Chain A
Amino acid sequence: MISLDAVTKKFNSTTAVDNVSYRVEKGEFFALLGPNGAGKTTIVRMLMGFSKATTGTLKIDGVPAQYHQARNKVGYLAENHRIPPYLSGWEYLLRHAALIDLTRTDAIREIDSLLEHVDMVKEKKQRASTYSKGMSQRIGLAAALIGKPKLLILDEPASGLDPLGIRDFRKILESLRNQGTTIVLNSHFLSEVEKICDTVAIMSKGNILVKDSIHNIVQKDETLEDVFVRWVDKKNA
């Protein structure tokens, strides 16, 4: 579903991503972990076509990521997701639906169902300027799910959510995984990642340190957090 081949991204003299290659298969739940500045968001932005790789290729379903066709059936939730303050959550979701050519009837039906999923039915007509960060994230998740995407790319989706919100969010992701949606998740919430992901890659300073299934990476009497700290410390040493 996703392939990165020797991808490097440089910002002037800084190398944000250094010769990274990996694949994410269809139906896989993949988590990209790493400390701040590891290059996770840069990879996601390149996958979404917002930024171009200095060298190397990124493909989604065989289509180079910089082509707009690559984003057919892709749902995306950005880190620090923002909604135009003058729009209500409802209007914002309608815009998303309009841009993927859903008919108004289908859009309304789907948006109503998604708003129930993310528990934002009561607040749907409020302006986004009145939303808390958690509420914006919920609307952002609903926006990413419009059109039943085959690939979901989520960059720090749990930031701003309270523990109950995180639990609800995990349930939504689990149900999507069961439906066969491929999910790529950037997150700092290692305990959540450990519960729901199939495969993880740990990044630091632009490099992939390890990529394997959760079961192979996390040994007995260990948590994902222990593994993460061990690998990142080794890189920094």
Chain B
Amino acid sequence: MPKIVRIAIFSLQDQIRQKSFYILLAACILLVLLLRSCYSGNVVVNNQQIDNLAIAWHASKFAFHLIAGGMMFLTALLSMNIFTRDSQNGNTVLVLSKPIKRSDYVLGRIAGVWILVSVFMFILHLTIVIIAFMNTGDVLPEFLLASVICMINLLFLTILTSLLSLFLPDVIAAITAIGITGISFVSDSFYLAQHSGMFRPLVSSAMENNVSIWQVLWPKTAMLQYYASSFVGDSNFNTKGPVHPLVNICFYILISYIILIWVFNRKDV
């Protein structure tokens, strides 16, 4: 078995033994229990009964964004102390005293956390698909494709938070990573709102096309999530600027990973 895979397995085992993992598990179970009730309501708008399928579709889309966004937050929290904790409890010495490259160690550790949060997110999204099916009889397979696309965001958050934690205290690193994602959500949501059917008549065409460079270059975590959610149902997707969010995030993953390896290779452990 390749050593990276072994280190990733150790990383998974270590995460599962942390208290934070059980807090995450409890939060997820609570979320699923709360969402379950959203599907079985009698909703009347303007004296018209809304059909169950429409409710289920909207509830599922809301749940999709809630889970994907929440998992990004939790990913930052789980990633913030990968290297600090390893250094404190002797794991770094355990691995690096063996004939193992530092880059393999870093990749294995990151892969472990990423696999954990991705599997978690996928299970939660799958649960929503099952709940929707049980209540409406309709299957939403595109939901799972959207979930897989959102895993790219989680990889970005894992690498970014780990990188920041090499320079900043753990909590500050997590807050900074969440902040970067938060700015993306505010900026991209505002942009998408401008282009939605509801607001388009209110926005001048000059303002509609006005996208500053920082908005194009900023890590588009939110835009990638909106892109993923466009697979659920028949939503149109308007990307901001000339760069597709998938390309944008993959570029940031690559750059962050290269910097992380470069810094870690020069670091005293």
Contacts and interface: CB of A to CB of B under 8 A. Distances in A.
A68 B100 contact: yes
Given A84-B91, A96-B94, A98-B6, A72 B99 contact: yes
Q: Give the interface SS of chain B, mostly helix, strand, loop or mixed.
A: helix
A84 B269 contact: no
Interface size class of B (residues with CB under 8 A): 20 to 34
Given A50-B268, A84-B14, A85-B89, A95 B97 contact: no
A142 to B, nearest CB: 13
Interface residues of A, number: 27
B97 A86 contact: no
A190 interface: no
Contacts of B6: 98-99
Contacts of A83: 89-90
Contacts of A64: none
Contacts, number: 62
A48 B89 contact: no
A83 B93 CA distance: 10
B98 A99 contact: yes
B11 to A, nearest CB: 11
Interface stretch (A19-27, A73-81, A115-123): A73-81
Nearest to A81: B90
A136 to B, nearest CB: 9
Interface in B19-55: none
Interface in B91-147: 91, 93-102
Given A49-B96, A50-B93, A81-B90, A68 B14 contact: no
A150 to B, nearest CB: 13
A51 B97 contact: no
Contact of A99 (B3, B88, B101): B3
Contacts of A48: 96-97
10 closest A-B pairs (Cβ-Cβ)? Answer: A82-B90, A76-B97, A86-B17, A99-B98, A84-B89, A51-B268, A71-B99, A72-B99, A50-B269, A68-B99
22 contacts: A49-B96, A50-B269, A51-B269, A52-B266, A68-B99, A68-B100, A68-B102, A69-B99, A71-B99, A72-B99, A76-B97, A82-B88, A82-B89, A82-B93, A83-B89, A84-B89, A85-B89, A95-B10, A98-B6, A99-B3, A99-B94, A143-B94
Interface of B: 3, 6-7, 10, 14, 17, 88-91, 93-102, 266, 268-269
